[in-house]
Amino acid sequence: MSADPLRLRDLAQRLDAEAEQARALARRVDAVSGVAWQSAAAEAFRERVAEAAIRLRHTATRLDEAADLTRAHALAVERAITALAEVAHDAAAAAQEVGTAVPRAVATGADDAARWAARHAGDVVAGGWRSPD
């Protein structure tokens, strides 16, 4: 089944139209059952016509159900697409945040190291600085 909500809604509309055509045909078939002739063959004909009309109405109902399910599927797909877009947006924002935070942390660390080195350079040169090891 398609993952495009617009195509799914279009399919649901086509199913609705098919259901209406089946109902219209059932009405026409029902009208035929009113034949005036009387005989065993006429009675058999009326029974078959009535059965055909019942099957057509049943088909129309099933087409209506399929259209409703297709519309529900379109809505579910639309919601899933929206949720995925939100996740992608959040992930991109997090990546952007991390992307700017890491260089800031590195720069801050480098600045701190440079300040420390500047403060202790004289001690290191004079031999007065000892490693904390």
Is residue 127 assigned to a domain? Answer: no
**Domain span holding position 24:** 5-92
Q: What is the CA radius of gyration of the chain?
A: 38
| 131 assigned to some structural domain | no
Answer whether 18's CB lies under 8 Å from 66's CB. Answer: no
Does 105 fall in a domain? no
Residue 1: pLDDT above 70? no
5-32 and 40-126 helices, crossing angle to 10°? 170
Q: Considering its fold, how many domains does the chain have in total?
A: 1
Burial of 33 (0-12, 13-18, 19+ CB in 10 A): middle
Q: Find the CATH number of the domain harbouring 51.
A: 1.10.287
User: How sure is the predictor about 28, in pLDDT bands with cuts at 50, 70 and 90?
Assistant: very high
How confident is the model over 111-126, as a mean pLDDT?
56
pTM of the full predicted structure?
A: 0.65
Task: Tell me the per-residue pLDDT of 66-104, one tens digit each, with 9 for 90 and over.
Answer: 999 999 999 999 999 999 888 888 888 887 777 776 666
CA–CA separation, 120 and 113 (whole Å): 10
Mean pLDDT of 116-125: 54
